[in-house]
């Protein structure tokens, strides 16, 4: 590391708050760049802050990253970054684990309650000025399967349990004594677990092994009354199979904060299928989330500059930050 380290901030139309980056500016030269100028900005750089977390520009400009020691991504998922060249390099990758946990858990609970209480139906009736008495479902005692047992999945499990749901998990390793999930099934046990679920929540990281994990066979394994909630990545789902499952009544509904592709084309059938709620990849975007991301990076930068271990180090072979029991 040079006496004055160089930090490249990759941004899109929005740039991070200078106030939140102040601890970095005090100890480093900051180069702001959009994707088109990234290769030039990487010359002699030590650190990259991928504030534009969906950009694939870092992987594309990796040939110019010869002096880079550390890349921090302003998101929990790092799949846009992890090209084979990045995986094989000695560069440390960190993510923004912890920023979105509670907000995404609240989103999931909100969607569960929206389905159970048919809030979209109430809004439609209100638009029609119709006073129509209806009954609604209880969520207490229903069963939720959270597929993905990292920190966000655990926050979801705790909040759903607080609302009275019975929660189990699906992860890499089977176990029966998990503090948040109780029972966790492994990949081999997923079809059976899906068959017992009233609610299926997808929050698994996007890796080679999870891409397309929710395909026709997974939807066929779910009860016909089950609802599917995806707050992970759109690519976890084979979208045509989800459309078929919804049209054929294999499942009762879906709440999709992420889709493949994004943004969802205006003529896509998911927009108009009954029982579908679509939000624009914003389940974790609470008021102030952008500054929270920058603050987390700034705190990690101070650790790096002081020679202390970094937080949220990604295992590049796995594609996420490993945790005990995940």
Where are the strands (E) in the chain, listed by range? 6-10, 29-33, 47-50, 70-73, 92-94, 143-147, 166-170, 175-178, 182-185, 199-202, 227-230, 253-256, 276-278
Give the separation between CA 102 and CA 283, rounded to whole angstroms. Answer: 10
Q: Is 183 helix (H, G, I), strand (E, B) or coil?
A: strand
Q: Parallel, antiparallel, or unpaired for β 166-170 and 182-185?
A: parallel
- Is 233 in the active site? yes
Among candidate residues 31, 154, 227, 281, the one labeled active-site is 281
Question: Exposure string (b/e) for 250-286, b if CB count within 10 Å is 16 or more?
Answer: bbbbbbbbbbbeeebeeeeebeeeeebbbeebebbbe
Among candidate residues 31, 154, 227, 233, the one labeled active-site is 233
C-beta neighbour count of 141 within 10 angstroms: 9
Among candidate residues 262, 299, 303, 308, the one labeled active-site is 262
> Could you tell me how many residues make up the chain?
326
**Contact between 27 and 5 (Cβ < 8 Å):** yes
Helical spans, DSSP H, in the chain: 22-25, 38-41, 57-60, 84-88, 101-117, 119-127, 151-162, 190-195, 216-221, 239-248, 289-305
**Contact between 156 and 203 (Cβ < 8 Å):** yes
- DSSP code for 292: H
What is the separation of C-alpha 93 from the centre of its chain, rounded to a whole number of angstroms? 17
**Contact between 304 and 70 (Cβ < 8 Å):** yes
Catalytic sites, residue numbers: 233, 262, 281
């Amino acid at each position: 590391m040079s006496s004055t380290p160089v930090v490249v901030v990759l941004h899109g139309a929005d740039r991070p708050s200078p106030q939140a980056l102040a601890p970095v500016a005090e100890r480093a030269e900051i180069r702001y760049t959009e994707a088109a100028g990234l290769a030039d900005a990487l010359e002699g750089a030590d650190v990259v802050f991928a504030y534009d977390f969906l950009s694939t520009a870092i992987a594309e400009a990796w040939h110019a990253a010869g002096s880079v020691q550390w890349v921090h991504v302003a998101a929990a998922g790092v799949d846009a970054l992890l090209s084979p060249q990045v995986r094989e390099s000695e560069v440390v990758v960190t993510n923004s684990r912890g920023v979105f946990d509670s907000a995404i858990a609240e989103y999931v609970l909100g969607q569960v309650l929206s389905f159970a209480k048919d809030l979209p139906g109430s809004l439609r009736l209100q638009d029609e000025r119709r006073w129509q008495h209806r009954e609604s479902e209880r969520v207490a005692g229903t069963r939720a399967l959270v597929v993905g047992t990292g920190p966000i999945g655990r926050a979801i499990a705790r909040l759903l349990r607080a609302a009275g749901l019975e929660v189990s998990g699906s992860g890499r390793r089977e176990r029966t004594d998990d503090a948040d999930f109780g029972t966790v099934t492994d990949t081999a046990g997923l079809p059976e677990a899906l068959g017992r679920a009233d609610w299926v929540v997808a929050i698994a990281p996007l890796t080679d092994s999870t891409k397309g994990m929710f395909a026709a066979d997974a939807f066929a394994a779910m009860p016909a009354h089950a609802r599917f909630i995806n707050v992970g990545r759109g690519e976890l789902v084979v979208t045509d199979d989800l459309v078929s499952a919804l049209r054929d009544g294999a499942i009762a509904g879906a709440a999709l904060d992420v889709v493949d592709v994004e943004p969802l084309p205006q003529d896509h059938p998911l927009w108009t299928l009954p029982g579908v709620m679509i939000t624009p990849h914003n389940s974790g975007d609470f008021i102030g989330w952008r500054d929270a991301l920058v603050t987390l990076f700034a705190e990690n930068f101070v650790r790096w500059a002081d020679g202390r271990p970094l937080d949220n180090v990604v295992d590049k072979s796995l594609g996420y930050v490993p945790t005990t029991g995940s």
